[in-house]
Amino acid sequence: MERKELLCEIKRLKKEKNAIILAHTYQPAEIQELADKTGDSYALSKFCADNSEYDTIVFCGVHFMAESAKILSPEKKVLIPEKDAGCPMADMVTAEQLREFKKQYPGAVVVTYINSSAAVKAESDVIVTSSNAVKVVKNIDAKEIIFVPDKNLGSYVAKQCPDKKFILWQGYCPVHNKMTVEAVKAAKEAHPEAKFMVHPECPGEVVAMADFVGSTKAIIDYAASLEGGEFIVGTEKGVLHPLSCDKNAEKKLYHLLSEELICEDMKITTLESVYRCLKDETHEMILEKDVIENAAKALNEMLRLAEK
Ligand code: 13P
Ligand code: SF4
């Protein structure tokens, strides 16, 4: 099918099935343009919790994101266009491992990054995203925190919460964790006027060199809040698309910190796979009832503590 025809069919099927298309900001530009809503993990999961008028959600992102949508909207059909779009960091902890680990720290609160499987979320007390992790953890009424799975986000949060003791799981994002001090120094030398914006999934020594630290949405909002300027971008390449859509974009110049900042799992979604997903209703997120219930408790606890 030609591109134009594909776009028309997607639009028709969306209407017929009362469906909405959500896309994370790391998705390919044409998928972000196709989506009804784009955002970071927090914005998209909040959207699923707040909007009940759609019967079907097509989630263009990675597996854990579509699972989160299902947990927050269990009555809806949640589909992911590419069933193999996973998150290697989420795969670094299993529910079984976490269950065993928790036994060593009976008084600790388990804080789990949204980049985790539904089964791991179901073993957790509260979920966080990179947008709200610091605020949520500050609002937890406990002194000991088990932070799962991202050691980099965990140590970033720990620095902002010196009154709490952190036990960090040793997971990481293979894309962000590759960023080095040398790469930042080289980028700063090449672009001395540029502001360095970074995602907290990068190693601590890289984060320490940043002018701004935040989730994908926070990075986009920060750049948008400035009239113009030059920026070094320390997160996945997909954010260059929303950054370039800002109304003052012609007064801004963006340099990706490294060409290695590409999450392959995020890039496999295509117009064809979105079309197939809507037409054949593949691949549906099916989760066990008790996993949904327990994971929903932890996700709703996040929403409550983030709004406090
Ligand atoms: P955000 O929470 O900023 O959307 O990031 C998700 C992610 O997968 C980062 O690698
Ligand atoms: Fe997972 Fe990293 Fe890809 Fe985000 S960028 S989805 S954390 S592998």
Q: What is the pLDDT of residue 52?
A: 81
- Report the pocket of ligand 1 as residue ranges, CB < 6 Å: 40-41, 115, 129-130, 173, 201, 215-216
In the reported structure, the alpha carbon of residue 37 is separated from the centroid of ligand 2 by a whole-number distance in angstroms of 20
Q: What is the pLDDT of residue 41?
A: 86
Q: What is the pLDDT of residue 66?
A: 96
Q: What is the pLDDT of residue 233?
A: 98
Residue nearest to atom 3 of ligand 2 (CA): 263
Q: Which helix (H) or strand (E) holds 147?
A: strand 144-148
In the reported structure, the alpha carbon of residue 249 is separated from the centroid of ligand 1 by a whole-number distance in angstroms of 23
* Residues whose CB is less than 8 angstroms from the CB of residue 267 and which lie 6 or more positions away in sequence, other chains included: 27, 28, 238
* Domains contained in the chain, CATH given: 3-86+266-286 (3.40.50.10800), 90-172+290-306 (3.40.50.10800), 179-260 (3.40.50.10800)
C-alpha 38/C-alpha 44 separation (Å) is: 7
Q: DSSP of 7-57, one letter per residue?
A: HHHHHHHHHHTTEEEEEETTS-HHHHHH-SEEE-HHHHHHHHHH--S-SEE
Q: What is the pLDDT of residue 15?
A: 97
Is 239 near ligand 2, meaning CB less than 6 Å away?
no
Q: What is the pLDDT of residue 45?
A: 81
- Global pTM value: 0.96
> Could you tell me the two tokens for 162?
């010196």
Counting as low any pLDDT under 50, the low residues of the chain are none
C-alpha 98/C-alpha 289 separation (Å) is: 20
